[in-house]
């Protein structure tokens, strides 16, 4: 089995934010003991969904849970820059298209209990691959072997892939960056995730300067969403 390592610069950031992601994992567990497969998405690119996916998966793994992190963003993978490998690795696209066995793309990591399936090659029709029986069968098979499966998806505000993936999961989380997304777009993304029929766990607000109190009383968003 190939082994991936988290890039050093990424690891330094991950350690700094470890406490926050541990708390997020606890909240996921408190939401239901049958929630094993979680999709992570955002409205737009660059809001931190991949960083959040990696950190949640790492936190579960470090807590002793056998965890799989799937890069479901086959259009524009960011996760490929997080994990490094010295060998060529097949990924999700190759398995779904039938050109490789999933076992060839399942990677160990330098973090105990954490495994990764990378996105693979760019597909000319990624939506069709995600809608295929192969994807559904893959998720159902992996459920038997892992305590938690975290799926990093494309931004739901850009392509439909995130909703398709979420239909095969148990729940979803929406990531948004402070001041970068209109509140109306966040609400629309939330509605899209809820329409999948799967549990919507909530919104994670990224890039918040905690040294500056812009929020005041509960319910006041300050500058959030004003553009």
The residues with which 83 forms a beta bridge, in sequence order, are: 6
226 vs 130, more confident: 130
pLDDT score at 83: 78
- Confidence band for 81, pLDDT divided at 50, 70 and 90: confident
Phi and psi torsions of 88, nearest 5°: -75, 135
Tokens of 218: 């509960």
Q: What does the alpha-carbon distance between residue 99 and residue 122 come to, in Å, rounded to a whole number?
A: 13
**Inside any domain, residue 213:** no
Phi and psi torsions of 167, nearest 5°: -60, -25
On average, the pLDDT of the chain sits at 86
Cβ-based neighbour number of residue 127 at 10 Å? 15
Where in the sequence is the domain holding 72, given as residue range(s)?
3-206
Cβ contact 55:21 at 8 Å: yes
**Inside any domain, residue 226:** no
pLDDT score at 215: 43
**Inside any domain, residue 35:** yes
Average pLDDT, integer, range 148-152: 98
Q: What does the alpha-carbon distance between residue 137 and residue 98 come to, in Å, rounded to a whole number?
A: 13
Alpha-carbon torsion 15, 144, 162, 34, what sign?
negative
- Confidence band for 121, pLDDT divided at 50, 70 and 90: confident
SS3 content of the chain, % helix, strand, coil (to 5): 35, 20, 45
**Inside any domain, residue 221:** no
**Inside any domain, residue 176:** yes
User: β-pairing, 106-109 with 114-117?
Assistant: antiparallel
Average pLDDT, integer, range 124-134: 92
User: β-pairing, 148-152 with 67-71?
Assistant: parallel
At 158-181, the pLDDT tens digits run 999 999 999 999 999 999 988 888
CATH value at residue 78: 3.40.50.300
- Confidence band for 146, pLDDT divided at 50, 70 and 90: very high
Average pLDDT, integer, range 45-49: 90
Cβ-based neighbour number of residue 24 at 10 Å? 19
**Inside any domain, residue 225:** no
Unique residue bearing structure tokens 């509960």:
218
Cβ contact 177:46 at 8 Å: yes
Average pLDDT, integer, range 197-224: 63
For the chain, how many structural domains are there in total? 1
**Inside any domain, residue 211:** no
């Amino acid at each position: 089995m190939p082994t991936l390592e988290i890039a050093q610069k990424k690891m330094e950031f991950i350690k700094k934010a470890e406490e926050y992601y541990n708390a997020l994992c606890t909240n996921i567990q408190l939401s239901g003991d049958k929630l094993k497969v979680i999709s992570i998405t955002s409205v737009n690119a660059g809001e931190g969904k991949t960083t959040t996916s990696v950190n949640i998966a790492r936190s579960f793994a470090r807590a002793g849970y056998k965890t799989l992190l799937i890069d479901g963003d086959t259009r524009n993978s960011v996760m490929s820059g997080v994990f490094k490998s010295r060998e060529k690795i097949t990924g999700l696209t190759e398995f779904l298209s039938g050109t490789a066995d999933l076992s060839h793309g399942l990677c160990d990591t330098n973090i105990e209990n954490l495994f990764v399936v990378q996105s693979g090659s760019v597909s000319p029709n990624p939506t069709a691959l995600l809608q295929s029986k192969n994807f559904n069968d893959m998720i159902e098979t992996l459920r038997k072997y892992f305590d938690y499966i975290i799926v990093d998806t494309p931004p739901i505000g850009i392509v439909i892939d995130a909703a398709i993936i979420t239909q095969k999961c148990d729940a979803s989380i929406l990531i948004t960056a402070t001041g970068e997304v209109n509140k109306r777009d966040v609400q629309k993304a939330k509605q899209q995730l809820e329409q999948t029929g799967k549990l919507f766990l909530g919104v994670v607000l990224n890039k918040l300067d905690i040294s500056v109190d812009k929020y005041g009383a509960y319910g006041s968003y300050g500058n959030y969403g004003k553009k």
